[in-house]
Amino acid sequence: MSLRLGDIAPDFSADTTLGHINFHEFIGDSWVLLFSHPADFTPVCTTELGKTALLNGEFQKRHVKPIAISVDSLESHNKWVPDIEEVNSVKMNFPIIADPEKKVALLYDMIHPNASEKATVRSVFVIGPDKKIKLTLTYPASTGRNFTEILRVIDSLQLTANYQVATPADWVNGDDVIIVPAVSNEDAVAKFPKGFTSVKPYLRKTPQPNL
């Protein structure tokens, strides 16, 4: 059965390029970006993992731990890491899970047989400190992920977890947000001291409250 938003992310133990982990212990009180790639020594994956390493500072600012996975062996991962570092001029700074028996890939429904019976698709899971799945994305093997978008949705997830707001289309950090309909106008005055604008009775905009 596929995993859904709000489900507890399944726990597992696995070897990675940075040592053995228990996934829930790895999460700890952080957010986690778990993402799969089809195979080691492939061109798009090499750029994706390099981009993730280059964005290390952005992930740290958001208290997010990236962790990658494919169904290759630990030996294969370790041989591939120097290529990632060379191509992207970066030092790898996050773990890659070795899953040659496909245990984690199947647990997280990362293998879509109609796309490939052997390789994982480009799955993305954002998991909160409560171990619950907050976001899922699935890309085909032919399309590299947009990590600017992944950072954007993490910003939205973290903001909306702490305030009674939602983010509109194309929102980026710093833009106005929408007050959720469950908050009355009377309560909104107290909750959002920067004020708000009523575009429609159900659409009220307010400056981003955590800035």
The residue annotated as part of the active site, out of 14, 33, 45, 141, is 45
Sheet holding 177-179, edge to edge: 165-166, 177-179, 203-206, 197-200
Q: Which of 71, 74, 101, 91 is nearest to 16 (CA)?
A: 74
Kind of pairing between the strands at 133-139 and 122-127: antiparallel
Please return the burial class of 33, using the count of CB atoms within 10 Å of its CB with bins 0-12, 13-18 and 19+. buried
Decide if 64 contacts 150 (C-beta within 8 A).
no
In three-state secondary structure terms, 99 is coil
Residue 45 annotated to the active site: yes
Q: What residues act catalytically? A: 45
